[in-house]
Amino acid sequence: MLLRLPTTLSEAQRYLADGAVPVGGATLVWALWQRDGFPEQAMSLRRLPEANHIAREALGAAVLLHQVDDRVPDVLRRAASTVGTGAVRRTATVGGNIVGSTLRCLLPAALVLDARATVLDPDGTYETDLSEAVAKRPLLLGIRWRDPVASGYYKAAGEAGGPPPFVVATAVHAGDDGGHRLFIAVRDGYEVISETAARGTGTDEVLAALEGTDLGSLPAEAREEVRREVTAILDRTAAH
């Protein structure tokens, strides 16, 4: 297998057009390749500057999970810090986790940040909705968002080899009209549900509105965790 390591977008675009298979940290695909056979070409973005930046409102796809620190909002930092073991976090990448993994541990955090995806295809780069990027699995260069007023993250305890732990991610964003809006996303098993509600109403009204969405179909214990997380972040942002 020939591993391509582009240093420019034009190189990455050319390798992609030549059939190179994108690979992040290879924490998930290596075993599959050993079983099914290795591709002729693979491509890593670890030397591509556009895929390695870390900022308050942007994160590159080639950034390793252990590098995600307090330069990004708390919800994203905490999500990255709870993925797998330390050894996994030193190898796995942001892009591989979001578009290459069925667990998608970072996806709830990215959704509540209302993030957009920057992707590359043989025709060039473009920005797209994050849910579309997850569904179509293009070559992800990074994600961008607006800094929230506040964010929160909860992950239930899990068992090794068991189902994915339940996750609740929350964020409150300031709108252009001066109002605030709550974003919430949960991972229940392998399914991710995201919803939003106006922050201007009281906590009980927000919770009632969320109960009328797909979140209301969650098991009772999961709905209670949602209630706790929503109440906590609304209390924290009450003065804003």
The CATH number that applies at residue 107 is 3.30.465.10
Query: Among 110, 144, 178, where does a domain finish?
Result: 144
∠ CA 143-144-150 to the nearest 5 degrees? 115
| 203-211 and 220-236 helices, crossing angle to 10° | 150
Residue 91 and residue 22 share a domain: yes
Average pLDDT along the chain: 90
Residue 127 and residue 161 share a domain: no
Residue range(s) defining the domain that contains residue 98: 2-144
Q: Identify the band that residue 182 occupies on the pLDDT scale cut at 50, 70 and 90.
A: very high
Count of structural domains within the chain: 2
Question: What mean pLDDT do residues 180-209 have?
Answer: 92
Higher pLDDT, 28 or 193: 193
Identify the pLDDT of residue 239. Answer: 64
Identify the pLDDT of residue 206. Answer: 94
CB crowding 190-200: b at 16 or more within 10 Å, else e: eebbbbbbebe
Q: Look up the pTM and report it.
A: 0.91
